[in-house]
Chains A and B, each alone.
Chain A
Amino acid sequence: MTTARIAAPKTAAKTPGARARSRRGSKPGPRALAYIFLGALVVYFLIPIWWLFVASTKDVQGLFQGTSGALWFDKTFALGQNLVDLFTYNDGIYLHWLGNSVFYALAGGIGATVLSVLAGYGFSKFRFFGRRFFFSVLLGSVMVPLTALVIPDFILLSDLNLTDTIWAVILPSLLNPFGVYLMQVYITDAVPDELLEAARIDGAGEFRTFMQVAFPLMRPAFVTVLLLSIVGTWNNYFLPLAMLQNTQLYPITVGIGLWEGQASANNGGGHSLWGLIIVGALVSIIPLIIAFLSLQKYWQGGLSLGAVK
């Protein structure tokens, strides 16, 4: 499916390139250079992940006094034991963090996407007083650094006694002005006014027109904004770090940050904690890597949304 969809424009672009190459004939130089350049980049971008995988298979002894180097496996293969340690350490708090991360990412991501779709549709398909002004305000807010909002958000929520609850992480994550902008751009192009008008003349209410006529046409942008919002919430560190005290509520990013602080604070007893951090980091990146590899056909097209316009 993926290949079929991507192949179509490619063959179109390939023919002139292929012809130009055959004209140059005996000059394979640039192409070989391009391959070497790409190959070097692939190695560079994969090395940290490779290191993480290799290090996850080592026991503490192998990690610090291993003989086969940092980038290769040690004599003992301890990945299974490391995973057991990870999931049982401190009554399995790591699983708690993983569950929290999934919950925050889904709740914040889905919520932000739904709000973006509704607002994007409202801005794109309705004419009302103040529309242009509020859309300019929205675009201006894309430039407000979101982390500059974390401390003000914290102060506000602490006055409402909402800090150190799941709401302190989820509610601010619902704000995604860039998602609204993306949806507005996409809907203006992809949902024709005539179609909506026809649905209204046929007697469909505004909500039904939105759900049954407009929404199916927005699906690619919807999936993209959803993916971007989920990744944004999943990767967020500053917001939960500021909001949460109770370690039981931590997402994985803040949890691993906590372990890192503890491990570097006491170098003696910290040794076994470094092993947990490494295997914990490995486990934490697997869900998103799988999601990105399997959802390629959605994000590859969708990421260009804001850029092509």
Chain B
Amino acid sequence: MANPDATLAGAPLARETRPARPRRSTKSRERRRGRVGWLFIAPFALVFIVFLVAPLLYAFYLSLYTKGLATGGVPVFSGIDNYVEAFTDPVFLGGLLFVIHFAVVLIPVQMIISLAVALILDAIVTRFSRFARLMIFLPYAVPAVIGALMWGFLYSPSFGPLQQLFGAGAPFPLSPDNVFYGLMNVVTWQWAGYYMIIIYAALRGIDPTLYEAARIDGANAWQVAWRIKVPMVASALVLILVFALIGTLQFFTEPSILAPVANGSITLGFTPNIYAFNQAFQYSNVNYASALSFALGIVVFIAVYIFLFATRKRGSFLK
């Protein structure tokens, strides 16, 4: 990214050497140009304000009110009561704990698989590896709803292949004990290929003369992979981790699609987003749902921020 400071700092210096009149006209021209810049940004800024800033402010406002039988259905200002309730609500906390646990286990597994595949695909270039790259990426083109549905069928005791492989004692991957891993498999299947392609593209962007230099210095293939390739794609890895973290904490689609076939192991408060959705649409508790959405947003924002702060030396995103 070009450093804007450099351009801005350079401008006054250049102006000083010029005579007075052109300076003023340059300045006014720049100001006019600045207004044109705003025109280019305006359409996006409008959508940004209407569909991001305004809903967040409005949801925050609603989350400060409570509507209940005691108040005769009229919303009454209640301050942070909804937030106190949310962070002491065992259902919300349980869902939150689940997605955090899920993220902590899932993301490293997903990263290791996609990094390993990308390194292999980068090292061997054959017709088969090109084919493998495409096939591993393919699930990205499948909507999460359909992906979850397909795995739900494969898990199914009535028409999935597990029964035929293991007989009557076949494990049911959506039972309360297994649902964590059943879901982990669905998400890994859906996203590992996409992450792999991003890492792979970053690997292809490395200057190959670096490898040559390393080999002359006596490095073997493993050392080249660990000491050169992985550090060179660190910013891609950070980007992917951020996406994975955001996506996992707001987990919604896969568990809600699998809920009807999971025989009750996916509950109405399984993840924070499912809980907020049910509060809003099953119980028409808009105020509490707003507080839940907002609380979840804050948790995600803080988690991502801590993560980016911890890795700030490696990634250039948000520098």
A-to-B contact residues, CB < 8 Å: 9-10, 12-14, 16-17, 20, 30-31, 34-35, 37-39, 41-42, 44-49, 51-52, 55, 63-64, 69-71, 114-116, 118-119, 121-123, 125-129, 131-132, 134, 138-141, 143-156, 171-172, 174-175, 177, 180, 184-185, 188-189, 206, 210, 231, 234-235, 237-238, 242, 252-254, 256-257, 260-261, 264-265, 274, 277-278, 281, 284-285, 288-289, 291-293, 296, 300-301, 303-304, 306-309
Contact = CB atoms under 8 A, between A and B. Distances in A.
B141 interface: yes
B204 A155 contact: no
Given A20-B215, A238-B253, A307-B198, A175 B154 contact: no
Nearest to B35: A128
What is the size category of the interface that chain B forms with chain A? 35 or more
B201 A301 contact: yes
Given A143-B242, A174-B51, A277 B149 contact: yes
B47 interface: yes
Contacts of A38: 117, 120-121, 128-129, 132
B14 interface: no
Contacts of B35: 128
Contacts of A44: 189
A188 B1 contact: yes
B146 A121 contact: no
B145 interface: yes
Given A127-B7, A154-B280, A281 B239 contact: no
Contact of A253 (B40, B145, B198): B145
A34 B208 contact: no
B318 to A, nearest CB: 5
A119 B260 contact: no
A148 B286 contact: no
Contacts of B159: 55, 63-64, 70, 274
Given A41-B117, A174-B51, A307-B239, A237 B154 contact: no
A93 B292 CA distance: 35
Nearest to A112: B47
24 contacts: A13-B208, A20-B221, A41-B117, A45-B189, A48-B189, A116-B44, A126-B40, A131-B4, A141-B52, A143-B305, A149-B51, A156-B55, A172-B51, A238-B277, A242-B280, A242-B281, A254-B145, A277-B149, A285-B146, A292-B137, A292-B138, A301-B201, A306-B317, A309-B235
Given A49-B150, A51-B154, A69-B161, A303 B198 contact: yes
Interface stretch (B15-23, B79-87, B296-304): B296-304
Contacts of A152: 55-56, 58-59, 290, 293-294
B70 interface: no
Contacts of A123: 37, 41
A52 B316 contact: no
A171 B116 CA distance: 39
Nearest to A262: B260
Nearest to A153: B55
A304 B120 contact: no
Interface stretch (B88-96, B101-109, B244-252): B244-252
A296 B134 contact: yes
A278 B260 contact: no
Please name the 5 residue pairs, one residue from A and one from B, whose CB atoms are nearest each other, closest first: A126-B37, A304-B201, A128-B34, A122-B40, A307-B236
